Amino acid sequence: MSQQDQSGSSSVYDWSWFAKGLAQLFSLPALILVSAFIGFGGLAREAGITLWQLVFMVPTIWALPSHLILVAGIAAGVPMLAIIPAVALAAIRMMPMTMALIPEIRMPQSKTWHLLAVSNMIAISAWMHTLQKAPEIPRAGRLPFFAGFAGVLMMSTTLAAGLVHQLAASFPVYVMAALYFLTPIYFATSSWNTSRVAAERLALILGFCLGPLFFMVVPQANILFAGLVGGFAAFGFYKFVRRGGAS
């Protein structure tokens, strides 16, 4: 028994939750993310990205802001050495996002390589949805649930973007605008509901207000600055309130 625990690391997880993650294909976040990638498929086509390049980049990069920067860079003929820092800067948020998710989904027996492998599937939608669902899922089922959900999101968005590219589907401008508009509203409402302490809701408000303000000062790094300043300020508020409540 103990031998099995040490060697058979896959038995640590409850893989029945993988199927439940897959079944979340029929969920609001999946619908919204697919809509966003319908928009991206058209954008990539206009930028001269081929079908197979598109199908390759959707799951390997797996972060819409990084996709947009790469495609815009390719379309404008920007050299690789200039695209890399722009993508890296936009993707820094992956680090705190990963650090927030991993403690929720890991098991004491989880190997680092399991976590490294599954971390490649972290992007805002699956991350947010899993954080929200985690309290209802037994710990052993959380990593499989995340892998299943993120996996089905990868497949469905790749398929959607590829189909739009292949069919050269075009939609009226107001349809595309409405599709693009789904994402920010979903992110805002979902992260409000995911928050566990008031400080996270404060961080949401601060980040939203500081992002555009920093855009006027440091347009390339405004998201990073807004995240750091807003996040630390909200945490300061959290510490202040706790100290006040304790006395």
Segment 179 to 198, residues that bind other proteins, using CB under 8 A: 180-193, 195-197
3-state DSSP of 171-204? CCHHHHHHHHHHHHHHHHHHHHHHCCCHHHHHHH
Exposed (0-12), middle (13-18) or buried (19+): which is 134, by Cβ within 10 Å? middle
112 vs 230: CA distance, rounded Å: 30
In this chain, which of 209, 218, 220, 240 binds other proteins, going by CB under 8 A?
209
From 8-16, 17-25, 88-96, 148-156, span contacting other proteins (CB under 8 A)? 88-96
Q: Is the Cβ–Cβ distance between 83 and 70 less than 8 Å?
A: yes
Rounded to an integer, what distance in angstroms lies between the CA atom of residue 211 and that of residue 219? 9
Which range touches other proteins (CB under 8 A), out of 17-25, 109-117, 140-148, 151-159? 109-117
CB–CB of 87/124 below 8 Å? no
User: Using the rule CB under 8 A, is 155 a contact of other proteins?
Assistant: no
For residue 1, the minimal CB distance to other proteins (Å) is 26
Member of 50, 109, 166, 220 binding other proteins (CB under 8 A): 50
Least Å distance, CB 163 to other proteins, is 18
Question: Does residue 105 bind other proteins (CB under 8 A)?
Answer: no
Applying the rule CB under 8 A, the residues between 58 and 77 that interact with other proteins are 60-63, 65-70, 73-74, 77
Query: Contacting other proteins (CB under 8 A), which of 19, 95, 167, 168?
Result: 95
Task: Considering only the stretches 2-10, 12-20, 142-150, 211-219, report the one whose residues sit in contact with other proteins under the rule CB under 8 A.
Answer: 211-219
Site string for other proteins, 117-146 (x = CB under 8 A): --xx-x-x---x------------------
Q: Which amino acid, 8?
A: G
Q: Which is nearer to other proteins, 16 or 119 (CB)?
A: 119
Q: Are 65 and 90 in contact (CB under 8 A)?
A: yes
Query: Binding of other proteins at residue 204 (CB under 8 A)?
Result: yes
Which residues, 6 or more positions from 115, have their beta carbon under 8 angstroms from its beta carbon?
102, 106
The verdict on 94 binding other proteins (CB under 8 A) reads yes
Q: Whose CA is closest to 61, among 78, 77, 49?
A: 49
Q: Which of residues 7-46 bind other proteins (CB under 8 A)?
A: 28, 32, 39, 42-43
Q: Are 157 and 27 a contacting pair, CB within 8 Å?
A: no
